[in-house]
Structure 1
Amino acid sequence: MVPEMSERQVFQASELAFLLENCSSSYDYGENESDSCCASPPCPQDFSLNFDRAFQPALYGLLFLLGLLGNGAVAAVLLGQRAARSSTDTFLLHLAVADILLVLTLPLWAVDAAMQWVFGSGLCKVAGALFNINFYAGALLLACISFDRYLSIVHATQLYRRGPPARVTLTCGVVWGLCLFFAIPDFIFLSAQRDERLNATHCQYDFPRVGRTALRVLQLVAGFLLPLLVMAYCYARILAVLLVSRGQRRLRAMRLVVVVVVAFALCWTPYHLVVLVDTLMDLGALGRNCGRESHVDVAKSVTAGLGYMHCCLNPLLYAFVGIKFREHMWRLLARLGCRSQRAHQRQPSTSRRESSWSETTEASYSGL
C-alpha cells in the first residue's frame, strides 16, 4: 500500500541483471543459448516508471493541499463542538485526523516518485508506517460508525450514548492500536535501498515475494473487505428497518452516512481489484505478458491515486450534503472574524448530542 515504485519493477531489474550475468556465463562456456535461464527475461518497465514520475508528484501535491485544508476544517468544526459532540462526531474527528496524517506523507512519496528517496531509512519506516496506519484507520473508523448506527436503529441499543463517556474514546484507541499492529511490517522491512541498476534510491520493502503477497492479502482483507462487509451489512439492515417503519426523516438523516460509505467503496474497489490481478500474475495464476504487466502497473498508480482521493472527498460530502456541518462551519468562520450573514441566520443548535454531519437540523438519532 505504500505509494512507492512498483515492487515488481525493482524485482525485475534485479532479476534482469542476474539473468544477463548467467546467460553471459553460459555463452562463454559454450552452453546452449536456449537455456531456460534466458527463455523468459523480465519485462521492461520504462513506460510505467516514466508514467509514475509524471503522474504521481502532480496528483500527490494536489491531494496534499485539498486533504489538509478540507480535513483541517472538519477537525476544527468538531473540536469546537466538544460539549455537544456525539459518538458519530468523535469517530468522525478521528477519521479526519487519520486523513490528515495520511496526506502529510504524500509530499514525501511525490519526491520519491519524481526523483528518488532522499530522506533516509528512518523516515522511510516512519512515513510508510504512518501512511498504512491511517489507511487502515480510515476504513475501520467508518466500520465503527456503521456498527454504532446499526445497534442504535436495528436493536435500539445506545452503546455509546448511554454508556460511559470514555467508551467511544476507548473504541478509537483500540482501532489505532490495531492499525499500529498492522503496520509492524513497515517498521521492520521498509528501508531506503540503493539500486545500482535503476541508479536511484527508493523507500521499499526488503522481503521475498511471498512476504509481499502476504502483506497484500492483509491489506485486502483487514483494510478493505472486512470493513466494507461490516458497512454493507449494517446499512442494509438499517435501511430495511427504516423503510418498513416509513421513517422518512430518519432516512434523510442517514443519507450522508450512506453516501460516505458508497464513496469509500467506489474509491478503493478499483485499486484492490488491480492489486488482486497483480498478485495473481505474481503467483502464476494469470499468464505472464509484458503488455499486461505494463498496463497493470499504470492502472495500479491511477487507481491508488483514486483511493487516496478519498481523503479529500469526505469534507466535500459533509459540506454539500450535511446542513448542520455547514451551519457549524459558518459559525466558526464568524468567530474567526470572517463575517457572514448566513452564520447568524439560524439559532444555535440544541445542546443535545446530535451529529454535526446530520443532513437535517434536528437531532438526527434522538429517540432511535
Structure 2
Amino acid sequence: MLWWGKEMNEWQVLHASDLDFLLENSSSPYDYSGDNNESEYCCGTPPCSQDFTFDRTFLPVLYSLLFILGLLGNGAVAAVLLSQKAALSSTDTFLLHLAVADMLLVLTLPLWAVDAAVQWVFGSGLCKVAGALFNINFYAGALLLACISFDRYLSIVHATQLYRRRPQARVTLTCVTVWGLCLLFALPDFIFLAANHDERLSATHCQYSIQQVGHTARALQLVAGFLLPLLVMAYCYARILAVLLLSRGQRRLRAIRVVVVVVVAFTICWTPYHLVVLVDTLMNMGALARNCSQENHVDVAKSITSGLGYMHCCLNPLLYAFVGVKFRERMWQLLIRLGCPEQREHVRQLSRRDSSWSETTEASYSGL
C-alpha cells in the first residue's frame, strides 16, 4: 500500500549496484561467497517474493470509497459548524479543525490508490507533499481529540474554563500549536520521501529513501500520534466519568457521550494497525523471527488494518449525526436555510424534545 505501511526493508532495497559492492566487500553483513563458490545468505534465507495482488485489488476500491465518504461527511460537519451565527465554542473550534484534518487526509487517498494499483507515477515532489500532508493530518486528528478531552476534563472535573478569558485567542493559539507540532513531525517526510524504483518489483513507489528513517518515523507515529493522545484521552474521560457517575446525573452523562464515542472509535480503528506495524518493525530489526509466510501475513494485515484506520476519518460525521442531538438539530436548520422548508416542523420538535437538557449540554459539551 502506501509508503507508510509498506516501506522497503533491507531485502527490498538491494539493487544491482548494491549487489556488486557487497560481492567485493567482505565486511558486508551479507556474505555471498562460500567454500565452493556457491551463493549463500548470511541469514539463511533468500529474499521473500511478495505478492501484491491483494493490495492491487483491495486498496484502490477502499481508498476511493473512503475518499468520497470522508469528503462529504467532514464537509457537512464543517458546513454545520461554520453556519452558526454565534461565535464557535472551544469544543466547536477543535471539532472544526478535526473535520478539516480528516478532509485533507482523505484528499491524499486517490494518490495512494494509484500507487497501490499500478505504481507511483507522480514524481518525488508530489510524493513528499502527499506523504507529509497525510502525516500532518494524521497527527492533527489525534492531538485535537486529546485537546478536546483535556478541555472537557478541566471543565467538568475541576470546574475550570481554560478558554473563558480571551477564548478566541487561546483556542487559536492551541490550534496553531497543534498544527505546528504536526508540521514538525512531518519534516522527515519532506526530506526523505522520494519516488524510488524497486528493481525487484519493477515498479516505482513513494517510500523512504533511508530505512532507518522509516523505522524512526514509525516509532514517532506510534508514540506521538497514538499512545500519548490515547493516554491523555483515557485519563481525562476516566476522571470525567467517575465524577458524573458520582453525581448521578444522567443528563450530564449524555452531554459528553459524543466525545466519548469518538474517542472509543479512534481507539478501535487505530489500535490494530499500530500493533501490526510494531510487529513488522520488530521483524525488520531482527528482534522477532521472520519467514516468508509471516511476512506475507503481516503485509496483508497492514493493508486491512490501515484501511480500518483510515475509515476513522469517515466515522466522526456519522457519530455526530447518530449520537449528537444538537448536531442533528443544526444540520436540519442548515438544510432549511438551503431550501428544505419541509424540515422546519422537524426542527421545532427536536428543540422541544431536547430543551430539558440542552443547557446542560451546552455547559458540559457545547455544540453537540
Q: CA deviation at 1:348?
A: 10
**Counterpart Cα distance in 2 of 1:258 and 1:189:** 37
Output aligned runs, 1:1-368, within 5 Å: 3=3, 6-8=6-8, 11-15=10-14, 31-33=36-38, 35-37=40-42, 39-46=44-51, 49-207=52-210, 209-342=211-344, 345-346=347-348, 361-366=358-363
SS in 1 for 2:86: helix
Paired residues of 2:33 and 2:39 also in contact (CA < 8 A): no
**Counterpart Cα distance in 1 of 2:83 and 2:191:** 39
**Counterpart Cα distance in 1 of 2:345 and 2:35:** 84
Q: CA deviation at 1:214?
A: 1.3
**Counterpart Cα distance in 2 of 1:31 and 1:287:** 28
SS in 2 for 1:136: helix
Paired residues of 2:75 and 2:103 also in contact (CA < 8 A): yes
Q: CA deviation at 1:36?
A: 4.0
Paired residues of 1:15 and 1:42 also in contact (CA < 8 A): no
1:238-288 Cα offsets, whole Å, 9 max, x none, are: 111111111221111111110000000000000000011111111212111
Gaps of 5+ in 2: 26-30
Paired residues of 1:19 and 1:41 also in contact (CA < 8 A): no
1:51-102 Cα offsets, whole Å, 9 max, x none, are: 1111110000000000000000000000011514211000000000000000
**Counterpart Cα distance in 2 of 1:29 and 1:166:** 69
**Counterpart Cα distance in 2 of 1:189 and 1:262:** 33
**Length-normalised TM-score, structure 2:** 0.89
Paired residues of 1:91 and 1:172 also in contact (CA < 8 A): yes
**Counterpart Cα distance in 1 of 2:3 and 2:359:** 42
**Most deviating of 140-149 and 336-345:** 336-345
Paired residues of 1:152 and 1:158 also in contact (CA < 8 A): yes
* Structure 2 letter corresponding to 1:272: H
1:168-210 Cα offsets, whole Å, 9 max, x none, are: 1110010000000000000000111223332222111111x32
Q: CA deviation at 1:346?
A: 1.8
1:330-362 Cα offsets, whole Å, 9 max, x none, are: 111111113333565428979xxxxxxx99533
The 1:160/1:343 distance shift into structure 2, 3 A limit, reads farther
Instruction: Give the number of equivalent residue pairs.
Output: 357
SS in 2 for 1:192: strand
**Length-normalised TM-score, structure 1:** 0.89
Q: CA deviation at 1:299?
A: 0.2
1:89-135 Cα offsets, whole Å, 9 max, x none, are: 00000000000000000001101111111111111111110000000
The 1:333/1:279 distance shift into structure 2, 3 A limit, reads same
**Most deviating of 140-149 and 239-248:** 239-248
The 1:2/1:135 distance shift into structure 2, 3 A limit, reads farther
* Structure 2 letter corresponding to 1:305: G
**Counterpart Cα distance in 2 of 1:100 and 1:359:** 34
**Counterpart Cα distance in 1 of 2:306 and 2:270:** 8
Paired residues of 2:32 and 2:39 also in contact (CA < 8 A): no
The 1:22/1:143 distance shift into structure 2, 3 A limit, reads closer
* Structure 1 letter corresponding to 2:104: L
Gaps of 5+ in 1: 351-357
Paired residues of 1:330 and 1:343 also in contact (CA < 8 A): no
**Counterpart Cα distance in 2 of 1:27 and 1:170:** 57
SS in 1 for 2:163: coil
Paired residues of 1:2 and 1:132 also in contact (CA < 8 A): no
* Structure 2 letter corresponding to 1:41: P
Q: CA deviation at 1:29?
A: 9.4
SS in 2 for 1:159: coil
**Counterpart Cα distance in 1 of 2:213 and 2:115:** 22
**Counterpart Cα distance in 2 of 1:73 and 1:36:** 56
1:9-30 Cα offsets, whole Å, 9 max, x none, are: 6x42333866699789999997
1:307-338 Cα offsets, whole Å, 9 max, x none, are: 00000000000000111101111111111113
Paired residues of 2:255 and 2:364 also in contact (CA < 8 A): no
**Counterpart Cα distance in 2 of 1:38 and 1:32:** 17
Paired residues of 2:8 and 2:207 also in contact (CA < 8 A): no
SS in 1 for 2:217: helix
The 1:221/1:2 distance shift into structure 2, 3 A limit, reads farther
Paired residues of 2:63 and 2:113 also in contact (CA < 8 A): yes
**Counterpart Cα distance in 2 of 1:5 and 1:276:** 11
